[in-house]
Amino acid sequence: MKKILLVDDEESFCYFVKKNLELTGEFKVFTANNGEEGLEIARRERPDLILLDVLMPGMLGSDVAAKLQEDPVLAQIPVVFLTAVVQKEDFGDDLIKKSGGHLFLAKPITPEELVTAIKKILEEKEQES
């Protein structure tokens, strides 16, 4: 069971994603509705992957990612931005580099697409180590 952390200010979105991912039987999902809470859970649970919303009240997704990079242990966790601001067509090398080498996923996204993307990243991560 891989541990996934989802940080998003939309509670219902968090709920549906958690349910959808857990229904696959492969993931254990933790959810947070703001950046601070997300960081707290990340430190406590050490998830295998973090899904970060970008535009949130308080800490922005990018701020959370930067905080995670400060922690040597947490910095190892792959971060995927899940956002409504940026869309697939905008994804370019520049944008990915700027966000610390992490991936972007555009909202809205189907559970299947999300699962596929998560699995792909986790596989790559495993191969690296």
Q: Residue 50, CB half-sphere, CA atoms under 13 Å: how many?
A: 32
C-beta separation of 52 from 7 below 8 A: yes
Of the pair 23, 73, the CB lying nearest other proteins is at 23
* C-alpha triplet 116, 82, 3: angle, nearest 5°: 60
**Selection from 41, 42, 65 nearest residue 53 by Cα:** 65
Of the pair 12, 127, the CB lying nearest other proteins is at 12
Cα-based distances in Å from 105 to 5, 16, 40? 15, 17, 23
Q: Pick the binder of other proteins from 1, 93, 101, 110 (CB under 8 A).
A: 110
Does residue 108 belong to the site contacting other proteins (CB under 8 A)? Answer: yes
Residue count at the site for other proteins (CB under 8 A)? Answer: 21
Count of residues for the chain? 129
**Candidates 30-38, 64-72, 79-87, 117-125 — which segment interacts with other proteins by CB under 8 A?**
79-87
Does residue 119 belong to the site contacting other proteins (CB under 8 A)? Answer: no
> Which residues lie near other proteins (CB under 8 A)?
10, 12-13, 16-17, 19-20, 23, 55, 84-85, 87-89, 92, 107-112
